[in-house]
Amino acid sequence: MTPRNLREVVIESLVRAAGYSAVVFVGLIFFFLLREGLPGFAEVSLPALFGSRWYPTEGHYGLLPLIGGSLVVTLGAAAIAVPFGLATAIFISEIAPRWAREILKPLVEILGGLPSVVLGFLGVLVLAPFMRVLLNLPTGLTAFTGSVLLAGMAIPTLVSVAEDALDAVPRNYRDAAVALGASEWQTIWRVTLPAARSGVLTAVMLGIGRAIGETMTVMMVTGNAARLPTTPNSLFLPIRTMTATIAAEMGEVANGSTHYHVLFVIGIVLFVISFIVNLAAGAVVFRRPKRAERVLS
């Protein structure tokens, strides 16, 4: 083999190894979560893990309040982020004049770049006191305050993915609709949005995925009370999420203790949730286009 060919082969294998490293890292992450978390399943029985009390100091490791807390905050965030995010994406992609687009897109990117701890910081100092007065609550550190800030963190993902999906709709779809006498809004609502629906769905899922995994903001503004949310007004009470529990308690537990292992169990739950959300989002992306779509595009 000539030196030149040898170099090609060596470089190709190095680059290939780098490519496969992503698979290795996902495997490593899952392996080390299991390695530290599996003893937790042995030390705490499964029914106990599904208990409704989280008092680690007294040996109660029920995860339901934490899962419920994450659910309430995330649903609240989705209820805000989906309409506002989609409206922003439609505005940027379909309605706004060019100059407005040039202002809005960088602004949304800035929101995406804001560190979560900065949003949490403003949440504690500004938003929570404001919510307390506005909604006449005993404390502003509630699930709802967390939802508002999480919506802000989900919106940049949602807007950019949804906007890409809308942009990818072929020009001739819109031209055809207009030629048939549809108004601009009818074109957006009946043609462009339905044509982009798989991308829009991906956007919504990725946005929600971002919200479930958010840690610092929710830890700072949701009050961290591990109560099982049972009634709708739980949205306006303090709750505690899975992510916040890990972040708040991992620093204080002894390595190898039951509490330590159960925190890794929560990590496994989060990993599995994000895996499912992303698999679902990926399935939409990787889906083979239907025959009709191939013919039309």
Partner 1 sequence: MSRQATQRLMFAVITVAAITTVTPIILVVGYIFWQGAPAVSIDFLSTGPREGMRAGGIFPAIVGTLLLTLGTGVIAVPLGIAAAIYLSEYAGDNRATRLIRLAIINLAGIPSVVYGLFGLGLFVLFLRFGTSILAGSLTLAIMTLPVIISTAEEAIRAVPQSFRVVSVSLGGTKWQTIRRVVLPQALPGILTGVILGLERAAGETAPILFTVAAFFLPRLPHSVFDQTMALPYHLFVISTQVPGMPIHIQYGTALVLLTFVLSMNVIATFVRSYYRRRRQW
Q: Taking CB under 8 A as the criterion, which residues in 94-113 touch partner 1?
A: 95-96, 104, 106-111, 113
Distance from C-alpha of 28 to C-alpha of 189, rounded to nearest angstrom: 44
Contact indicator for 170, 231 with CB cutoff of 8 Å: no
Among 62, 65, 68, 120, binds partner 1 (CB under 8 A): 120
Is 33 a binding residue for partner 1 by CB under 8 A? The answer is: yes
**Judged by CB, which is closer to partner 1: 202, or 234?**
202
Instruction: Check the CA dihedral 133-134-137-142 and report its sign.
Output: negative
- Nearest approach, Cβ of residue 107 and partner 1 (Å): 5
**Helix-, strand-, coil-residue percentages of the chain, each rounded to 5:** 80, 0, 20
Q: Under rule CB under 8 A, which residues in 170-209 are in contact with partner 1? A: 183-186, 189, 206, 209
Q: Which stretch binds partner 1 (CB under 8 A): 5-13, 40-48, 57-65, 168-176?
A: 5-13
SS3 assignment, position 239: strand
Tokens of 161: 């993915």
Terminal C-alpha separation, the chain: 47
SS3 assignment, position 12: helix
Tokens of 32: 């080390």
Among 16, 190, 197, 287, binds partner 1 (CB under 8 A): 16
**Judged by CB, which is closer to partner 1: 105, or 132?**
105
Distance from C-alpha of 175 to C-alpha of 85, rounded to nearest angstrom: 26
**Judged by CB, which is closer to partner 1: 147, or 215?**
215
- Count other Cβ atoms within 10 Å, centred on residue 239: 30
DSSP 32-60: HHHHHHHHHHHHS-HHHHT-S-EEGGGTE
Is 212 a binding residue for partner 1 by CB under 8 A? The answer is: yes
Displacement of CA 1 from its chain's centroid (Å) = 50
- Nearest approach, Cβ of residue 233 and partner 1 (Å): 25
**Judged by CB, which is closer to partner 1: 62, or 123?**
123
**Judged by CB, which is closer to partner 1: 210, or 229?**
210
**Judged by CB, which is closer to partner 1: 115, or 233?**
115
Q: Under rule CB under 8 A, which residues in 230-249 are in contact with partner 1? A: 243, 246-247
Is 32 a binding residue for partner 1 by CB under 8 A? The answer is: yes
Distance from C-alpha of 96 to C-alpha of 212, rounded to nearest angstrom: 31
Is 130 a binding residue for partner 1 by CB under 8 A? The answer is: no
- Count other Cβ atoms within 10 Å, centred on residue 13: 10
**Judged by CB, which is closer to partner 1: 109, or 233?**
109
Q: Under rule CB under 8 A, which residues in 264-293 are in contact with partner 1? A: 264, 267, 270-271, 274-275, 277-279, 281-282, 285-286
Scan for tokens 């169990």, then name that residue: 265
Q: Which stretch binds partner 1 (CB under 8 A): 43-51, 128-136, 212-220, 225-233?
A: 212-220
